[in-house]
Chain A
Amino acid sequence: MRFCYVKCLLVAAFSLFSGFIFAQDHGGKTEKPKNESFNANEVIFGHVLDAHEFHFLSYKDGDGKEDDDIANSYFIGKSLGAIYDYTFDGIIQTEDTAFIRQYGGRPGDIKLKDLNNNGKIDPDDRSIIGYTKPNYSLSFSNTLSYKNLELYFMFSTIQGGGKDNYYLASNQFAQNPNTLFAGVANWLDKPYWMPDHPSNTTPRPNYSNTYSYKFSQGHSFIRLQDVILSYQLDNKLLANTPVKNLKVYIAGKNLLTWTKWEGLDPETATTFASVNGFPVMKTVTFGLDVSF
């Protein structure tokens, strides 16, 4: 009965062009193609089949200016990984009657900004609210020795934020738990908006995310990735044994993580209840290193 064949080209061209376009990201910005020559540090567009079709992708719709590609999040002059979404402006409160009259919604819904002031919330009110890319990543390690004791540790961190709001990821399950299980939302302990318990950050429990807002959240983190404490037995004590060298150690992996991300693994932005997601495993190893 069922039969699957070639991926739907039309729809690919319609809603998702990734079949045709590849982009190379070397940390640069999206720029106009310059005389069809491409700098490796800029976004370049190519057609997987034919080079001459570069023309097609040079972004001209006849109005004389280069166009952004919202569907693929390529914005001229902006970094890759732009998140194009509505601007969150708190939660609609019971007393916001003027807002409700103008824009609809109910107390406890999220409040979005009417950026172009046209009196309604529509797709034109979306803008770049941040980026998925990190600002920087860093790791720091050191070994401290005292007599026979040795302590090795390594911290790693990926940081976003800043004025352009880097390193965001969508986190609807945590920010609007109703997205996952409609109608039975309170499976997360959150300060939900309630008439007697107003909140300006978390919508009411059964909010159905009318505008498909992505609820982007920063997932910067600092992690104590490795720590090893070891003790080297004095060789003098081993002089009369066949043992040449003896070391005892205890090693820990991923013991501590500091992050504001509400989910499983901040590094991969894994959300709660994600199908293939796992939290980062903590490991503790005890060891004895003996050589003869």
Chain B
Amino acid sequence: MMKRLTYTALFLFLVVFAGCKKDDEFLKETPGDFLTIDNAFLNYAQFKTGLNELYRQVRLDYNNRDNGDDFFHFGSGTDNIFVPVPAGAAFTDWSLINPTRGIFNDVFTRHFQIIYNANNILAQSENPAVSLTDEQKLTVQAEARLFRAYGYRYLSYMFGGVPIIDKPATTPNLAFTRNTRAEVYDFCIKDLEFASANLPTTTSEPGRLVKAAADHYLAEMYIALGDETKNSSLYTKAIEAATRVIDGTDGDYHLMTERFGWRKDVPGKNVFWDMFQMRSPSSQSNYNYQSGNKEAIWVMQIDKFLTGGLNTTLPTRTDQERAFWPSFWALEKFGYSGPARDWMGRGISMVRPTNYFTYYLWNAADSNDMRNSPVNIQRVFYAPDPIINGKEVPNYDTTYKTNVTLFDGSKIVVSLKPGDPIKKEWLTSRQDTMERVFPRVMKMGSDWHYNGDPSNGFAQESYAIRLAETYLVRAEAYMKAGNPDLAAADINVVRDRAGATPVTPGEVNIDYILDERIRELFGEELHTLTLCRLGLLYDRTKRFGQIESQQTVMPKNNLMPIPQAVIDANNQADFPQNPGY
């Protein structure tokens, strides 16, 4: 009996402890029914799925929610656009910009998420359990590092120095400290150099990153680091990087000079117009390199009819048209009578071009500039055709009568036939000129909509990088390297295509380059980032902003405020706010 008990005890002892070899292995969990980094990313297809999340996050910079604040980084409150409604809104009135404004937390968090996700992909790509060929591994790493650089580029331009984190966080840390802006720039450059060396020159997948994208950002960041560290040798490196994009080393790119794309036969339009045509109903894109647009370097992919082709936060459309276009369809005078029609688009003027953009930017002598032609900026609005029995009827003889109060207070009755222009002097209320009628930048919208529905039938891609910008980046580098002749030559490549008068080397300065950027890249580039990078947001706004912006902008606005939530959370170390906030 005793013996049996002993044996039983011994047996149990062995059973209980037999499994324990090493503590580490014993404690290691192998998740069988949920995903972690370690089991989700094991082969190339899975890594590409992981990278797709990064493409999605970057796309949110161009289209996120139905919310005006999400468009602020296209330049709201600076020299090109402002927020017209209501009067005195934030990003027109700079005194309302402070660290608790939600949008700063949104973009700060989003770009650190990009960095975090990229870090995880990078760390996992080195895991021996992963089956990637050497070439695949380099491609994955190059893409992930470009995304990491993209995140840090955004953060350091907009907020100044931020903490550099180069691997996934595995322990909690409440003691992050800010690196200097130059350190962050340098970190980005190393990532971009790696990406430039290892990304393919071409891809069959529209929207996928290629070498030229890395070199474009690289050129810009060499300039940024050169400015920050007063090291002019970096401008030469910037020129080299941009040249690789321009001279064909990175692939066959050139500015589009001939009509192209699925609407190239629409009469009266021009090549600049072709460049911004929405995907055809049969999914032909005018934006993508793969479909013949040799100017497109990196395009945010949008497809209304494809799963994942739009954001979950804006699942039926994209919002450029709604944000940038005036709501002339809602005038309720001069023949306009309510719901938007297909050709009108359904703008709600979340942002509006400044007077500087609409008037002063376009030299009167330069009437040939294609970008300012009525095809691309509509400045005159006409009384529409009437709708009879639910259909728009052209050439119908009707008269619209509108009571108008002129500026001097006198009242008149305006009679218009369909097609008659609406004169400026009849538009006298704040709503008339701030919401309803202002120049319509045609590339931000479309004259037709899917299913004829202007409310939700708009879904347009966005250029993150277009070759025209690369020329302007190289022009900036040439100018800063003391070579205004070549700077002017680069600007003139862009101006020539538009049929604009060439610039002379003597006229080239940073103001001219910024003006040219607005003329060419309005609504495309994240203009606030450009101004913050150059430290000129205050200066340009003070001179060229809308009047309320001029009156309220302060030098501190050259950097945006660090979100207060970030500072509050980092309570184990000082995380200084940007000066002045």
Contacts and interface: CB of A to CB of B under 8 A. Distances in A.
B172 A47 contact: yes
A61 B172 contact: no
B571 A68 contact: yes
Interface stretch (A4-12, A157-165, A217-225): A4-12
Contacts of A16: 569
A255 B554 CA distance: 56
Contacts of B90: 208, 210
Contacts of A11: 109, 112-113, 116
A5 B169 contact: no
A1 B52 contact: yes
A5 B40 contact: yes
Contacts of B95: 104-105
A196 B482 CA distance: 60
Nearest to B109: A11
Interface string B83-103: 001101110000110111110
Interface in B100-137: 100-102, 105, 109, 112-113, 115-117, 119-120
A9 B85 contact: no
Nearest to B552: A104
Contacts of A20: 172
B568 interface: yes
A4 to B, nearest CB: 7
Given A61-B571, A68-B571, A123-B99, A9 B168 contact: yes
Given A1-B309, A210-B96, A122 B172 contact: no
A203 to B, nearest CB: 13
Q: Which of A14, A61, A105 has the most CB of B within 10 A?
A: A14
A292 interface: no
B307 A212 contact: no
Interface residues of B, number: 61
Interface in A50-95: 53, 56, 59-61, 67-71
A13 B112 CA distance: 11
A3 interface: yes
A250 B95 CA distance: 60
Consensus secondary structure, chain B interface: loop
Contacts of B36: 6
A6 B123 CA distance: 14
B85 A183 contact: yes
B20 interface: no
Interface string B552-580: 00000000000111111111111001000
B112 A56 contact: no
Contacts of B254: none
A2 B308 contact: yes
Interface in B31-46: 35-37, 40
Given A15-B109, A53-B171, A208-B90, A3 B52 contact: yes
Contacts of A210: 90, 96, 98, 101
Contacts of A14: 109, 112, 176, 566, 569-570
A9 B169 contact: yes
A124 to B, nearest CB: 10
B392 interface: no
A208 B301 CA distance: 33
A5 B99 contact: no
A19 B569 CA distance: 13
Contacts of A13: 169, 172-174
Given A123-B99, A206-B86, A71 B569 contact: yes
A16 B50 CA distance: 24
B581 interface: yes
Interface in A129-175: none
Contact of B86 (A10, A121, A183): A183
A286 interface: no
A206 B570 CA distance: 34
B314 interface: no
A226 B426 CA distance: 65
A106 B552 CA distance: 13
B565 A6 contact: no
B118 to A, nearest CB: 11
Contacts of B99: 122-123
Contacts of B175: 61
A59 B572 CA distance: 7
Interface residues of A, number: 41
Q: Which of B35, B101, B568, B577 has the most CB of A within 10 A?
A: B568
A60 B573 CA distance: 9
Interface in B513-570: 563-570
Interface in B297-333: 301, 306-309, 312
B56 interface: yes
Contacts of B168: 9-10
B229 interface: no
A254 B86 CA distance: 42
B361 interface: no
A272 B566 CA distance: 30
Given A17-B174, A104-B95, A71 B571 contact: yes
Contacts of B291: none
A10 B569 contact: no
Interface string A172-205: 0000000000110000000000000000000000
A22 interface: no
Contacts of A211: 98, 100
Contacts of A123: 99-100, 564, 567-568, 577
A10 B53 contact: no
Interface string B34-76: 0111001000000001101101100000000000000000000
A61 B170 CA distance: 21
B414 interface: no
Interface in B149-186: 165, 168-176
Contact of A8 (B49, B116, B307, B312): B116
Q: Which of A9, A53, A70, A105 has the most CB of B within 10 A?
A: A9
B86 A1 contact: no
Interface in A1-41: 1-6, 8-11, 13-17, 19-20
A2 B573 contact: no
B515 to A, nearest CB: 31
Nearest to A49: B171
Contacts of A105: 95
Given A2-B308, A208-B96, A15 B565 contact: yes
Interface of A: 1-6, 8-11, 13-17, 19-20, 47, 53, 56, 59-61, 67-71, 104-106, 121-123, 182-183, 206, 208, 210-212
24 contacts: A1-B307, A2-B52, A2-B312, A3-B52, A3-B53, A5-B50, A6-B37, A9-B168, A9-B169, A14-B109, A15-B109, A15-B566, A16-B569, A17-B172, A17-B569, A56-B171, A68-B571, A70-B569, A71-B565, A104-B95, A123-B577, A206-B86, A210-B90, A212-B101
Interface of B: 35-37, 40, 49-50, 52-53, 55-56, 85-86, 88-90, 95-96, 98-102, 105, 109, 112-113, 115-117, 119-120, 165, 168-176, 301, 306-309, 312, 563-574, 577, 581
Given A6-B120, A14-B176, A208-B90, 18 more contacts: A1-B306, A1-B308, A2-B53, A2-B312, A5-B50, A6-B35, A8-B113, A9-B169, A10-B113, A13-B169, A14-B566, A15-B565, A17-B174, A20-B172, A47-B172, A67-B572, A70-B571, A123-B99
